[in-house]
Structure 1
C-alpha cells in the first residue's frame, strides 16, 4: 500500500473517533463509485488545476485520484469525510506529478514587456504554458480562487508551498489538517504559508474579490469589444483599454503594456481585416472569455485564439490571448463558423451595440 493510500488510516486531528453510523454512511458513499466521481469531479478538477496550471494534466490527475481512492476504499475508516479524504489523495497525486517539472508561466511572468509592438514576435513551443480552464468544467465557491492572475502566481511557488496555500486559504483547512495531509507538522505548515504569502505579495497579487456578475456597463463594454474586433477598428479597441492594459499571447514570449503598444500590435501583426474576426462568448477562470475566429481564404471562419479578459471597472485591463486552438473544443466552441456568419447568429454570440457597417465599396465605384 502506498503512503497516499495509507493516509486515511491516520487519526484525523480535527475529528472525533468515527462513529459506527458515520463510518457506515461513508462506506455507502464509497460503495457507489460512479455517483462519487460525479459528485466530486468538478471541484477536484479545480483543485488539480490550481496545482498544475493545466486543464489536460488536471483531468489526468483527477482520474488518478479516483483510481487510488478506489484501490484504497476498503481501508477507509471514516476518520474524516470522504471529501477531505479525496482532497488528501488528490493533493499528493499532484505533488508527485510536479516533482522535477518546471512551472507553467504566462509571458508576463518571464521578463519585462516589449517596448516596440512593431518588432518581430518570438514563439516558444518548448515552454509548457499556463492554460485557462472552462468555468463549466469546475466548481468554484470563490471565483477569485481560480482567476488566471492567482493561478499564474501560484506557479511561482514551490509545489509544497503551493499545496499549503491552496489547502489553507482556498479550502480553509486548519494547519493541523494540512499537516496530516502532507505528513508534516503544523509549525512547518504555518511557516510555508507565511513564505507563500510573502512570495505572492512580492509579485503584486492583490486580494481583490471578483464580482459574481458583470455590471450593465461591463456587459456593454464586452459588446463594444466584440464589435470593434469584427470591424477591426483598432482605435475602438484601444479606447476600451485601461492606461496600463497588458496584452500577452502564449506561445509568443512577447508581451505589451499600454493602449498605444497594443493598438500597434493589433494593427501590424493581426492578419484579419474588416468582418474577418467574429467572436463567440464563453467564460474561463471566472472571467469573461471569447473564442476569436479568423476568416479563411476558401470561406468560413476557423479558430484563431482564445481570449480571457480581466476587467477594471468599465475597461479591459488585461488580455490573455491563447493561440492553442485545441482549447476551443474544451470550451464547447465550434471548430468552424460558416461563411455567412454574422454577430448574433450563434447562441454564444454577443450582439454588438450597433450594427456592423455596410461593406466598403470597391475602389473606383
Structure 2
C-alpha cells in the first residue's frame, strides 16, 4: 500500500506527534508499505543518514508562505496548490493526515482529499476542547463536517472533544504507542529514601508547568515531614523561568529542573522513580506517561486527560479530579508503601496494550475504512 503521512511538523523537531509519525512510518515501511512523509519542517542537517528507515521525506517549507497568517486564506491556497502538484506526480492509496490545534498543512490536506477524492484518514493529536473559537472556525471555514475523510483521535477523551466539531461524522480512536521492549523492567529495582517523584514534559502553559510546582508544594505539605521526598521535572520550554520563580517562592528546593533529557536520560530517571506525575488536564494521550507505565512506575494524572486511555485508577496508578486531588493522590502513594508496591508490581508484570503492532494494524484498519468510503462515494455519483 502507498501511504503518505501529512504532518506540519516532523524530525528534527521532537515532540509527541513527530515521534509518533516517524515510528509509525518506519514500522509501516518495514511491513512492506511504500511510505512517504510530507511536512513543512526543513532539514537542518542533524538527521543521520538512514535514520528514517527507508521512508521518503518530502519537505515543502515554501518560503513564500513564511510571512502569511498561519491559517490565512492565501497560505491555505498556496499549500493546497503544492499538495496538488505533489499528488500529480503519483497519488497514494491513502493520505494519513496528522493534525494538532493549528495545522495549516493538515488543513490543506483535508481540502485536497475532499475535493480530489483521495482516501484520507485524519488523526487529531490534540484536545480540541478548551481551545476557544479555533475548532469552530475550522468547522465552518474548512467545512469539516462535509469533508470526505475518516476522523480519528489518539484517545477516547480526545475523540469525545473532537466529535462535536466534525459531527455528524463518527470519530474513531487510534491510540499512540511505544515499544514495550524498550521500557519493560526499567523500574524493577526497589529504591531507598527519599521517595522520587518524576515528571517528563515540555515546560509550557498547556502542559501546566507552573501549576505542577504548586501541586508538588502541596504534596510536601500533606506528606509527613519524616517521609523524605525529592522531585525531578525533566524538560524545557517557555514556562521554565516562571516555574523556577514559583518553586523559589514556595520554598520547594527539593524539586530539580535539570532540563531536557534524551531517551537514555529518561530511562535513568524512570529507573529511579517511585511515582510519575502527568499534570496536564488537556493531555490528549501522554506518551511520556505511557513510557513510565511500561517501565513499571505508578502514574498519577488528571482523571479528565487522555492518560486514562492506559491508566485505570487503583490499577496502573491513581487519577485525580483537579489539582488539590492530584496532590492528594500523589501524597497517598508516598505514604502508602503497600499500595505503591502493588501498583508497581502490576505495571511490571502486565505488559502495556499500546504497542506499535497494534498501532500499525489500527491504522491499516482505518485506511480500509477510508478507501471503502471513498469508493462508495464515487459509486454514488
TM-score w.r.t. structure 1 length? 0.25
TM-score w.r.t. structure 2 length? 0.24
Q: Which has the larger radius of gyration?
A: 1
